[in-house]
Amino acid sequence: MKLKRYLLGEELDFQRKIFFWNMLGSGVNALATLVLQVVVTRLFGEVRAGIFLFAYPLAQQLLTLGGYEMRPYQATDVKETFPFGTYLASRFVTGAAMMLGAALFILLGGYTEQDACLIFLLCTYKLFDALEDVFHGMFQQRGRLDIAGRALTLRVVLSTSVFVITLLINRNMLFSTLLAICAAAVGLVLFNIPEAREFVKLRPSFSWPPLKKLLTVCFPLCAGTFMLQYISTAPRLAIRSLLPEEMITYFGILFMPNFVINLFTGFAFKPLLTTMASSWVIGNRKKFRLIVFRGMLFVLGFTILTILVGTWLGLPVLSMLYHVKLDGYLPELLMLLLGGGFNAASVILYYAITVMRRQKSLVYIYAAAFLIALLGARPVVGHCGLMGACVLYTALMAFITLLFWGALLLFSYRNKYGKEKGGSR
């Protein structure tokens, strides 16, 4: 009996460690984005900071090419269909595609030389997120999300500190970003490689058949996430081309609390991802559905709480942080917070559909929303201004969430009544 209680205590301590480091890593990563935007805005003002608040989300969008949205598949690959060497090799391929995409975007965008350099350097900085993520997917696959969280925390703190300190000293965004890239590279090596060697051989396998199969299997996830990032970026692109330059800064500031909902959803849900995958694989549908339901319930409750707090404290806190007057923008803030709730809910449903290996269906849903964003962003923003951009984002997130929910119910029904055989479709 004592041994049983001891083992249970050990297990609880381990689960607390996983939760703590996952929470800290996700929190620090989100906080780093806030810190960078706040420092740049306070140092350069809302007009000059606009290019950074435009380029950083753009780099985040191109990161979907670098990461290829392989993490959910890798973390839930409990049968180890692909060895780590194949996952590692694929990341070199997708990382090269990310930087090629950045170069093409800059060449076709007609940016000034300084703006083009900043965009490319920020994309290089985010490239290390993609390279690190393949190690973190492996850690999570083996139930060691605590290692991933610790490595993420240390690397982000190091690179963000270097950026902020050098920017405060020299007021040069290009030079500070370059040094932050060097710090991210050092952090990747120091905080990930030694731990990874305890689990796998760090030798990429460029054998074409399994590499091609992995890239093909994950392509729907990558394509869908790339389109989702465009959906989030489309309002910024329209604002940049149609509204005064400082409006892109206002939108970026008001959008920032949107991440709070996703952040805390990640705290609660990410540690359960491998458990959810295992439940589906062994046929425990009740536990699978319960995890999804609890995740959705958490998002609903936290979104309501965030909107209530945002109504009371949102604008004063953001104005104080960024040193920018935001009087009169409360409706826009609340609209974006509602959109953040829909976005967080869609992420949970996205993971559930991925675990079911029905990821190809995601592409059609994202494609429909992508087309709406592509055709509707400029008319809506041109007619309704900043509020139009906020409404567009929220409407698109709601559209995606509802379709994801419908797809999940459909696949669950078909699985329950055996109307189709397994396999990813």
CB burial of residue 70 (10 Å; 0-12, 13-18, 19+): buried
Q: What mean pLDDT do residues 373-389 have?
A: 91
Predicted confidence (pLDDT) at residue 203 exceeds the cutoff of 80: yes
Predicted confidence (pLDDT) at residue 124 exceeds the cutoff of 90: yes
| Residues 138/166, Cβ–Cβ less than 8 Å | no
Confidence band of 2 (pLDDT split at 50, 70, 90): very low
Predicted confidence (pLDDT) at residue 79 exceeds the cutoff of 60: yes
Res 14: pLDDT: 67
Confidence band of 132 (pLDDT split at 50, 70, 90): very high
d(Cα 223, Cα 367) in Å, to the nearest integer?
9
Give the residue ranges of DSSP H helices in 69-144. Answer: 71-75, 84-109, 113-141
d(Cα 152, Cα 147) in Å, to the nearest integer?
9
Q: What mean pLDDT do residues 57-79 have?
A: 87
Which tens digit of pLDDT belongs to each residue from 250-305? 888 898 888 777 777 766 666 666 677 777 777 777 888 888 888 888 889 888 99
| Residues 255/394, Cβ–Cβ less than 8 Å | no
Res 425: pLDDT: 40
Q: What mean pLDDT do residues 362-378 have?
A: 89
Res 7: pLDDT: 41
Res 16: pLDDT: 78
DSSP states of 268-316 as a string?
HHGGGHHHHHHHHHTT-HHHHHHHHHHHHHHHHHHHHHHHHHIIIIIHH
| Residues 360/220, Cβ–Cβ less than 8 Å | yes
Predicted confidence (pLDDT) at residue 36 exceeds the cutoff of 50: yes
Which tens digit of pLDDT belongs to each residue from 218-239? 988 888 888 888 888 888 888 9
CA 318 to chain centre: 22
The domains of the chain are located at: 13-206, 220-419
Predicted confidence (pLDDT) at residue 192 exceeds the cutoff of 50: yes
Res 5: pLDDT: 47
Predicted confidence (pLDDT) at residue 95 exceeds the cutoff of 90: yes
Q: What mean pLDDT is reported for the chain? A: 86
Res 280: pLDDT: 77
Res 17: pLDDT: 82
Span between the terminal Cα atoms of the chain, in Å: 48
Confidence band of 15 (pLDDT split at 50, 70, 90): confident
The pTM score is 0.78
Contacts of 202 (CB under 8 A, 6+ apart): 88, 193, 196
d(Cα 374, Cα 273) in Å, to the nearest integer?
32
Q: What mean pLDDT do residues 81-98 have?
A: 95
